[in-house]
Structure 1
Amino acid sequence: MKLSDYAKKAGISYRTAWRWWKQGNLTGHQLPSGTIIITSEAIDDNLKPDLIACIYARVDSAQNKDNLDRQAERLIRRSKRKTEKIIAELKSHRQ
């Protein structure tokens, strides 16, 4: 699997995957063209299941409170990590 595909599957940036490769945390080989191939055995071992996601949702008024809950739920569903912390903020404008 190409390093870019590995990064997408792992839910990390390409730069982070490249850094892990340079540090020797990923198993694979580099082709003469420069393409980095991560071996299939390394894929499951190197994915970091202990990484967590913190979800932040915010709306600007009390009228949108229902949107706040839907927004947080949508972010949780899209997260590829275990969600440990959810922050929901209802910002009211006082003048």
Structure 2
Amino acid sequence: MEILKENADYLESNPDIKIVLEGHTDERGTTEYNLSLGQRRALKVKEYYTQLGVAANRIATTSYGHEKPVDFRKNELGWAKNRRVETKLLVRQK
């Protein structure tokens, strides 16, 4: 939550920046389920950013489901790291 608050502060200070929130899951579950879950995660983070004052039209969302793991261990530690939302720079408007 603290990282999201810091990101929101940065975005408020840089109104020309748009972001994309990438939702990720662990490998368990079907592809369809994981894509849906990743999208729900991204939308929850978007909701939080908007509560912190970031305009919703500056935030896009997408889901990669389990397609882009950061940890390949097949245990709870690995799965926990893969369940995440990443905030990425989308475009800097001129």
- TM-score range (shorter-chain normalised) is 0.3 to 0.5
TM-score scaled to structure 2, two decimals? 0.34
Q: Flag the structure with larger Rg.
A: 1
Higher relative contact order (CA 8 A, sep 6+): 2
TM-score scaled to structure 1, two decimals? 0.33
